[in-house]
Amino acid sequence: MHNAIAWGITGAGHLLKESFEMMEQLKERYPELKITSFLSSAGEEVCRLYGLLPRLYRISGGGYLEEVIKDEGRGAYPKTGRFQLGRYKILVVSPATSNTVAKVVCGIADNLITNAISQATKARIPTLIVPVEEELESLSSRTPPFIDKLVCKNCDVCIAEEQCPQGAIKNYEIDTSLCDGCGICIEMCPYNAIYTMEVRIKPR
């Protein structure tokens, strides 16, 4: 068996930072360890919004069993066949959204992450799923950058839009499919209409 583990990331912001820290600690403690990162489409979007994609590409550097594998929505996921070949010691899915957990409970394997879980369990590869929905009264989460319509002045020339390196701001809206969470727009808006905020949420 190769000295490699698989790590699945779904579209949750909660526990995302801690998941990255754990992967980095594992790489530091076990320098020979290879980590293949499996990204759901929502996981890719959330990692980009929080500016974590470059960090992920450092963790999974690109060699065999060290790739970042993305869900391209094709329906077939041949790289999850590696579990049947015994390429990984364990599959960790962290953070795991309640949507992912519900699909696993119902035996649904219709995306990259749930397919990886299905293949790993069939091959009797240990699988650790870390759900974000905990039995807590409430928890905190930080939003991606957004434009507060009550504060925005709809300037004729939006400086934040002009300065956004991703071209993610159009018509006083931030396109989250383009935003990488760099924060330049927050610094550029003279009216402080763009910001992120800490929110308290109640787990379902």
Largest CA distance in the chain: 61
Q: What whole-number distance in Å separates Cα of residue 106 and Cα of residue 119?
A: 15
Q: Which CATH number applies to 139-201: 1.20.1330.10, 3.30.70.20, 3.40.33.10, 3.40.50.300?
A: 3.30.70.20
Q: How far apart are CA 47 and CA 43, in angstroms?
A: 6
Strand, coil or helix: 170: strand
Domain parsing of the chain, residue ranges: 4-131, 139-201
Please indicate whether the domains covering 4-131 and 139-201 agree at the CATH topology level.
Answer: no
Beta strand residue intervals within 21-79, DSSP E: 34-39, 68-70
Q: Domain spanning 4-131: which CATH class is it, in words?
A: alpha beta
Tell me the sheet residues that pair with 5: 35
Q: How far apart are CA 14 and CA 101, in angstroms?
A: 15
- How confident is the prediction along the chain (204 residues), in pLDDT tens digits per residue? 469 999 999 998 888 999 999 999 999 999 999 999 999 999 999 999 888 999 999 999 999 999 999 998 777 799 999 999 999 999 999 999 999 999 999 999 999 999 999 999 999 999 999 998 766 566 666 788 999 988 999 999 999 999 999 999 999 999 888 888 888 999 999 999 999 888 776 555
